[in-house]
Amino acid sequence: MKMWFLGTGAGRPAKHRNVSAIALQLPEPRGWWLFDAGEATQHALLHLPLKLSRLEAIFITHLHGDHLFGLPGLLGSRSFDGGVSPLKIYGPKGLKSYVENTFAISGTHVEYEMTIIELEDGAELDAFYRDDLLQVDARPLQHRVPCFGYRVTESDKPGRLMAEKLKERGLASGPVFGKIKRGESVELPDGTIVKPEDFTDGTVPGRVIAILGDTSPCRQVEELARNADLLVHEATFAAGLEEKAHEFGHSTTTEAAKAALAAGAARLAMTHFSGRYGNEELWQLEEEAKAIFPAVFAATDGSCVDIPRRSSVRGEKPGK
Answer whether residue 320 shows pLDDT above 60: no
H-helix or E-strand spanning residue 171:
none
Total residues found in the chain within this entry: 320
| Residues whose CB falls within 8 Å of the CB of residue 230, separated by 6 or more in sequence, listed in order | 3, 207, 208, 209, 210, 265, 266, 267, 268, 269, 305, 307
Reduce the DSSP state of residue 75 to 3 states and report it.
Answer: helix
Q: Is the pLDDT of residue 116 over 50?
A: yes
The residues, ordered by sequence, that sit 6+ positions from 101 with a Cβ below 8 Å of its Cβ are none
The Cα–Cα gap between 300 and 168 comes to 53
Grouping H, G, I as helix, E, B as strand and the rest as coil, residue 176 is: helix
- Whole-number average pLDDT of the chain: 93
Instruction: Convert the pLDDT of each residue in 235-279 to its tens digit.
Output: 999 999 999 999 999 999 999 999 999 999 999 999 999 999 999
pLDDT exceeds 80 at position 303: yes
* pLDDT, tens digit, 9 for 90 and up, residues 152-206: 999 998 777 878 887 887 777 778 788 877 778 888 888 888 887 788 777 889 9
Catalytic residues: 66
Domain ranges of the chain: 2-155+205-306, 158-203
Q: Which residues are annotated as a binding site for Zn(2+)?
A: 62, 64, 66-67, 143, 214, 272
Binding site feature residues: 62, 64, 66-67, 143, 214, 272
- Please give the CATH superfamily to which domain 2-155+205-306 belongs: Ribonuclease Z/Hydroxyacylglutathione hydrolase-like (3.60.15.10)
Say yes or no to pLDDT of 319 above 50: no
